Amino acid sequence: MRRISVECYAGQRGDERPRRVTINGQKHVVARLLSEAVEQSLGSKEDTRHYKILTEDGLVLDVVRTNDGEWYLESER
């Protein structure tokens, strides 16, 4: 996984939904959120949020937000 920068819509929970993703200095605007999932670690209250997003330039990105607030790119199609 590669670390990336993500700008989000901040709602009740704080950083909720990705709006812009920066990969290698190039910004990609999120056109649509395709899916969202929360993975909880066994025996821990820490969770990882997984998002599949479609960008305006046609990329499908799987991004992950860890419990410590870091964002990572899992895959790019």
Report the chain's C-alpha Rg in angstroms. Answer: 12
- Residues 5-39 pLDDT 10s: 999 876 655 557 899 999 999 999 999 999 999 98
DSSP conformation class of 44: S
pLDDT for residue 20: 95
What is the three-class DSSP state of 10? strand
Higher pLDDT, 47 or 15: 47
pLDDT for residue 1: 87
* Listed range (22-26, 38-42, 48-52) with the worst mean pLDDT: 38-42
Q: Please determine, for residue 47, whether its predicted confidence score (pLDDT) is greater than 90.
A: no
- Please count the structural domains in the chain: 1
Domain boundaries, position 37: 2-76
